Amino acid sequence: MGFEDDVFISYAHVDNETLAAGQDGWISLLHERLRKRLRQLLGEEVKIWRDPKLQGNDEFADTLVIRVSKAGVLLSVISPRYIKSDWRRKELSHFCHEADRGVGLTINNKSRVFKVVKTHIPRERHPPELSGSLGYEFYEYDEATGKAREFRADLDDRRYWDKFEDLAQDISQQLIHLRSLSSAANPAAKTGASSFEEMAAMPSSYPTRHS
């Protein structure tokens, strides 16, 4: 039941494009910030993987299918392009299928798929695998005007950081549960398991300030 990656980020590459030179992409920032925050929360390195650029060959496509099936959790970044991408939908479907065949798609009534909604999309257009999940919305929607504004991924937008902290803590808790299941299934591989079990029993009193 061992996982090669703790987190697999599934995203549309256009969502990592920047509007101005010298900026870091939205996905790149999320990836790096999650890596650091999860390391703080869990006390050890966490393996997060995403394909850094779009490839166009079958060999790479097969690699993605294998990789996503061996991840502990899937983080799907929902956007208009994600919804239109057959390949992103395939990643999601394959992960859910393989998860059901393994330890299950839900652990302690929590899904192993984390829905990050970068851009407002009506819920009825979300992939069916995610239709029942509220997700983590990184935007505000104005019902009166019908316009949505994404949170800024900079240090000054507190809304972004509050939502990010919710996401990071929920992922960390799910990884703790997955590690505990893996240790129970394989007693010979309990290295570090006790520390995860201890953290699972600790109260959630993590700091929310970021720098």
User: Domains of the chain: which residue ranges?
Assistant: 5-201
Please tell me the predicted confidence (pLDDT) of residue 49. Answer: 94
Please tell me the predicted confidence (pLDDT) of residue 184. Answer: 67
The more confidently predicted of residues 90 and 64 is 90
Residue 46, pLDDT > 90, answer: yes
Q: What is the CATH number of domain 5-201?
A: 3.40.50.10140
Please tell me the predicted confidence (pLDDT) of residue 87. Answer: 85
Please tell me the predicted confidence (pLDDT) of residue 84. Answer: 93
- In tens, the pLDDT along 83-117 reads 999 888 889 999 999 999 989 999 988 999 999 99
Whether residue 43 contacts residue 175, with contact meaning beta carbons closer than 8 Å, is answered with: no
Three-class secondary structure assignment of 99-142: HHHCCCCEECCEECEEEEECCCCCHHHCCHHHCCCCCEECEEEE
Predicted TM-score (pTM) of this structure: 0.82
Euclidean distance between the first and final Cα of the chain, in Å? 36
| CA 164 to mean position of chain CA atoms | 11
What distance in Å separates the CA atoms of residue 44 and residue 38, rounded to the nearest whole number? 8
Please tell me the predicted confidence (pLDDT) of residue 196. Answer: 42
* Percent of the chain scoring above 90 in pLDDT: 63
Give residue 58's pLDDT band: very low, low, confident or very high (50, 70, 90).
low
Please tell me the predicted confidence (pLDDT) of residue 204. Answer: 44
Give residue 137's pLDDT band: very low, low, confident or very high (50, 70, 90).
very high
- In tens, the pLDDT along 8-21 reads 999 999 999 998 88
